[in-house]
Structure 1
Amino acid sequence: MTQQFSRRFFLGSVAAGVVAPSAFAAPPNTSLRPVLRGGDLFRRAIPTASELIEASNLKGQVAFVVADAKTGAVLEQKAPTMGLMPASVTKAITALYALDTLGADHLFETQIVATGGIIEGEVQGDLILVGGGDPTLDTDALAAMAGRLKDAGIHSVKGGFRVYEGNFPRVSRIDPEQPDHVGYNPGVSGLALNFNRVHFEWKRGNSGYAVTMDGRSARYRPEVAMAVMQVQDRSDPVYTYRDDSKRDTWTVAKRALGQSGARWLPVRKPGLYAGDIFATMAGANGIRLRNLQVIDALPAGAELIVTQQSAPLHDILRDMLKYSTNLTAEMTGLAATIARGKAPRTLKESAAEMNQWAKTKLGMRNPALVDHSGLGSESRISASDMLTALVKVNNSGTLKPILKTIVLRDEKGRPRRDHPIKVDAKTGTLNFVSTLAGYMQAPSGREMAFVVFSADEPRRAKLSRAQRERPDGGRAWNARAKRLQQKLIERWAAYYVS
């Protein structure tokens, strides 16, 4: 792209209102800048980053850095060493950590084993469902395992049905500061099902509400016993949760339900949830399982009967970065830490191991992550540190192919799939936190790595726990942050043409 084209591209965006501050809304009576000559004349017409930030009306902190993706030479930056919440941009670091430790072809295995031997199709001891760290296991997969158990000739079990969640720590929720009922904050262990979410559905009838709690997937909708819901005649709070020893007990406010609806709720007891669903699927195959219990250790000498393998880790992480699934990030991060010979008791301990790895392998100076998903509000990374990681892996072909393609928008806010700027990046969103980090290719062909972190920490700190699902003003703040991200990207594409 020539300099003349770059100027026309950017000024076209200005005229359309995409990237210009309010000063450019109408033509001035006199020139805002002197008439210049020279090869870089077009750059003088491009708003500065400071002008774009001021025009965005985005309260809080903004930090960014952009560099040549190949050389790492910094082109422009603002507050590059200020530590801010990275939100789900953390998942890009987690993906690199898991790939480096486990390998792109790594397969997670969920197993069914038996104790006591098998005589004429009857298990003489216990049947055990064994978690192997697969974050993508769903009800369809458990149904397939139950079918293969029958195909293996098993028709009965003398002992009980046990669930072993693997050697992962058991965590009741990723971030204790989140509301109880948000589905993106489930429990974590070495066994997961349906991303550790249970489907709650309600419908008003003549005698009140009919409610169901099930573990649905593409083919099946088995109801569960380990999660129960009661409708109560109140308006607030909308949900309450109580941790009973054998089940998750929920209540919901009757006045908040309306005629009908559904939502996913988090599962706090992943082992019981998976065991509940598997027992149903085994029963559908004529195999009765009794006395479900979660055990802390796998008995020696158990006989392997059925194995269920996940997709390759590369594919799992690609989907994680696309859909930003917190559970996948936590489980793959924990799996990597355990594979490195550590025994983390908490997500924070595992994240500390990842922080050390990031210093050694990515050259980051001071990553301070408290989990693998970015959900925890105590995590901090500087824009400079994140950029260092992006430049480090740029030529390896490790991260960029699994990043999500970000479609920029036109002057009316509509996605423009033929936009001349190409962006592959990871987004991050928390209440009054918006982040974006990845790679961009300008119309000139120049490739750049960039990081934009925005946060209004004082406003976020004022939120109560109950307000964190949909805080007043949160959506508008986030929209302004995303518009600023695009304006900065368009500035860089037009300004740094070579």
Structure 2
Amino acid sequence: MPRPRSLALVLAAALFTAVPASDLATDASAQAQDTLYQDLSAILAAPGLKGADVGLVVRHADTGAVLFTRDSDKRRQPASNGKLISSAAALDILGPDHRFTTSVSAVGRTTGGVLAGDLHLRGTGDPTILAADYDALAAKVAADGIKLVRGRLVADDTWFDSVRLGTGWAWDDEPYYYNAQISALTVSPDTDYDAGSIIVRVAPGAAGEPASVTTDPPTSYVTIANTAVTGAPGSTSSVSVERQHGTNVIDVRGSIPAGGAVETEWSTVWEPTGLVTSLFHDALARHGVRVLAGTGVGVTPADARVLGEHQSMPLSRLMVPFMKLSNNMHAEILVKTAGRAVFGEGSWSAGLRAISARLGGLGMDSTVISLRDGSGLSRMDQVAPGQVTGLLLAAKGKPWFQAWYDSLPVAGVSDRMTGGTLRNRMRGTPAEGNVRAKTGSLTGVSALSGYVTTADGTPLVFSMISNNTLTSAKPLEDAVAVRLAGNRSGQTPPGAYVIPELSDDQRRQLDVDLECSWVKAC
């Protein structure tokens, strides 16, 4: 992606037509409003947006009055702004106290430590469950007195359908953790809760020797094809980690300098249900439980005896890693969960129907938008900025609003679970600690929508969605948000309004094709 042009943007403070001095007192507010209009128009006319399709709307958060609009009813790809819709609808359908349950059950009698039938491991899509949680479930099996299972370990992922990837997702993104497969039985390798993936760590050996590769969680479910070598001390690292399409073979290539730091990459797996089954089988063995007949997949019988359960955090808490870090898998799991809750079918089609039915009560018109997933990964999603601000306004009246509002990234706050995808943006401006908004990024697509309070305490909502961009639109989104944060009714901005140049690190963070938090170094 080309590097953005110079980000210095100077907006004149008095771009409106002069009026007689006698009219200044009565027209001060209108003039300030006109200045805001002119300044926002100047941002949208910046060279970096030439040839792009951009929509922007600003509204009063209490009255809904429109302060500025430009092409705000035209549909565009929203990228991760689509998560505003899926998250709000999920809270509305499931409720903020919703929890995901993972259970292990036994079928058949247990005599002398021997279970005559099968063990069943059943999931409902928990994206926060870790390998340690499966280990704790295995411990409960052992605590029940079972030492030998004559039947199978049966994985039950039927809470969702078997469609693993969304409509319109790019095939070449499949190895990467932000594009993991969706299963009702899944596992996360970290407390970012990157469901359906594992961590691959590459460590140097002695110069000239092979690099060492480990996974977290440790598993034999994947095969590491390691050709990475240890280079000379101080040499440049060229390590790459990529799963081969349609397999669980992970290629590790390149060179890592001797004495250098361990390199950490994330990789999806093919069929997360299989990974979970393998991890749980290993956990049972660690706790002294042998399974004689191997593993399989199937439905847990209604009369199975529950040996243990693990419950996730409530949805209100899950909103934080979901929205702050723009977690695609959380969005899709919630879509399928909504479908299961409303129609008894854990599929994308059922979930999107359930969400669509709620949109009228969420300030949106379902007949003028198109959703094919919950995360915004699909290039087939189509949403207008005006519809997004309708959602932002309607959400304020919902009982779950505070949890949702608190989950939005906060401009310029460095803590990852506060600032999220805005943690490196708008620092040292009136927007810092003020703007709460959802970002969105794909190649040629950028979006920023959320809440801001002006310098004189006026609450606003705004949405800017840009498509067909050739450089990053993020500096211009920031210019809009900072201009709104600094607005003061009845006054014009001082002399000139300047968006400062960004550092090289900040430029690199913006000059990506994906959501910043999908690139772990951001």
TM interval, short-chain normalised: 0.7 to 0.9
Distance in 2, matches of 1:172 and 1:441, equals: 41
How far off its partner does 1:69 sit?
A: 1.0
How far off its partner does 1:42 sit?
A: 4.9
How far off its partner does 1:167 sit?
A: 1.9
1:238–1:256 Cα contact (<8 Å) kept? no
Structure 2 residue identity aligned to 1:363? M
Distance in 2, matches of 1:135 and 1:55, equals: 41
Q: CA separation of 1:32/1:77 partners in 2, compared to 1, >3 Å: closer, same or farther?
A: closer
SS of the aligned residue for 1:314 comes to helix
Structure-2 residue corresponding to 1:251:
251
Counterparts of residues 304-315 of structure 1 (less than 5 Å): 304-315=306-317
Distance in 2, matches of 1:385 and 1:408, equals: 26
How far off its partner does 1:387 sit?
A: 1.1
Structure-2 residue corresponding to 1:61:
53
Structure-2 residue corresponding to 1:231:
226
SS of the aligned residue for 1:308 comes to strand
1:352–1:370 Cα contact (<8 Å) kept? no
How far off its partner does 1:494 sit?
A: 4.5
Structure-2 residue corresponding to 1:115:
107
Distance in 1, matches of 2:323 and 2:426, equals: 23
Counterparts of residues 84-163 of structure 1 (less than 5 Å): 84-163=76-155
Counterparts of residues 50-449 of structure 1 (less than 5 Å): 50-55=41-46, 57-59=48-50, 60-174=52-166, 175-194=169-188, 195-205=195-205, 207-215=209-217, 223-232=218-227, 239=242, 241-244=244-247, 248-252=248-252, 254-255=253-254, 261-343=263-345, 345=347, 347-348=348-349, 350-359=351-360, 361-365=362-366, 366-399=368-401, 400-408=404-412, 415-416=427-428, 422-449=434-461
Structure-2 residue corresponding to 1:472:
none
Q: CA separation of 1:341/1:33 partners in 2, compared to 1, >3 Å: closer, same or farther?
A: closer
Task: Give 2:465's match in structure 1, choosing from 448, 453, 456.
Answer: 453
1:147–1:285 Cα contact (<8 Å) kept? yes
How far off its partner does 1:56 sit?
A: 5.4
How far off its partner does 1:179 sit?
A: 2.5
Distance in 2, matches of 1:273 and 1:240, equals: 14
Task: Give 1:49's match in structure 2, choosing from 26, 40, 49.
Answer: 40
How far off its partner does 1:127 sit?
A: 1.0
Greater Cα offset, 172-181 or 441-450: 172-181
Unmatched 5+ residue regions in structure 2?
1-6, 189-194, 230-237, 414-423, 491-522
How far off its partner does 1:153 sit?
A: 2.4
Q: Percent identity?
A: 24
Structure-2 residue corresponding to 1:5:
none
1:271–1:294 Cα contact (<8 Å) kept? no
Structure-2 residue corresponding to 1:219:
none
Distance in 2, matches of 1:262 and 1:494, equals: 41
1:133–1:166 Cα contact (<8 Å) kept? no
Distance in 1, matches of 2:371 and 2:255, equals: 37
1:173–1:268 Cα contact (<8 Å) kept? no
Number of residue-to-residue matches in the alignment:
442
Counterparts of residues 466-485 of structure 1 (less than 5 Å): 477-478=471-472, 481-485=473-477
Greater Cα offset, 348-357 or 295-304: 348-357
How far off its partner does 1:164 sit?
A: 0.9
SS of the aligned residue for 1:395 comes to coil
Distance in 1, matches of 2:211 and 2:373, equals: 39
SS of the aligned residue for 1:340 comes to helix
Distance in 2, matches of 1:290 and 1:204, equals: 39
Q: CA separation of 1:359/1:33 partners in 2, compared to 1, >3 Å: closer, same or farther?
A: closer
Structure-2 residue corresponding to 1:20:
10
1:213–1:228 Cα contact (<8 Å) kept? no
Greater Cα offset, 51-60 or 376-385: 51-60
SS of the aligned residue for 1:93 comes to helix
Structure 1 residue identity aligned to 2:173? P
Distance in 2, matches of 1:294 and 1:176, equals: 30
1:135–1:331 Cα contact (<8 Å) kept? yes
Greater Cα offset, 51-60 or 193-202: 51-60
Q: CA separation of 1:55/1:152 partners in 2, compared to 1, >3 Å: closer, same or farther?
A: same
SS of the aligned residue for 2:291 comes to coil
Greater Cα offset, 74-83 or 49-58: 49-58
Distance in 2, matches of 1:348 and 1:375, equals: 16
Distance in 1, matches of 2:180 and 2:294, equals: 21
SS of the aligned residue for 1:406 comes to coil
SS of the aligned residue for 2:303 comes to coil
Q: CA separation of 1:113/1:73 partners in 2, compared to 1, >3 Å: closer, same or farther?
A: same
1:108–1:134 Cα contact (<8 Å) kept? yes
Distance in 2, matches of 1:413 and 1:101, equals: 33
Deviations 1:218-256 (A, max 9, x none): xxxxx2111112135899997351435xxx12324x336
Distance in 2, matches of 1:323 and 1:93, equals: 16
Q: CA separation of 1:407/1:397 partners in 2, compared to 1, >3 Å: closer, same or farther?
A: farther
SS of the aligned residue for 2:456 comes to coil
Structure 2 residue identity aligned to 1:483? P
How far off its partner does 1:404 sit?
A: 2.2
Unmatched 5+ residue regions in structure 1?
1-16, 216-222, 460-476
Structure 1 residue identity aligned to 2:242? Y
Distance in 2, matches of 1:273 and 1:143, equals: 14
Q: CA separation of 1:362/1:43 partners in 2, compared to 1, >3 Å: closer, same or farther?
A: closer
SS of the aligned residue for 1:147 comes to helix
Distance in 1, matches of 2:304 and 2:107, equals: 5
Q: CA separation of 1:495/1:240 partners in 2, compared to 1, >3 Å: closer, same or farther?
A: closer
How far off its partner does 1:107 sit?
A: 1.5
How far off its partner does 1:294 sit?
A: 3.9
Structure 1 residue identity aligned to 2:334? T
Distance in 2, matches of 1:141 and 1:335, equals: 21
Distance in 2, matches of 1:494 and 1:417, equals: 8
TM-score normalised by L of structure 1: 0.80
1:191–1:271 Cα contact (<8 Å) kept? yes
How far off its partner does 1:124 sit?
A: 1.3
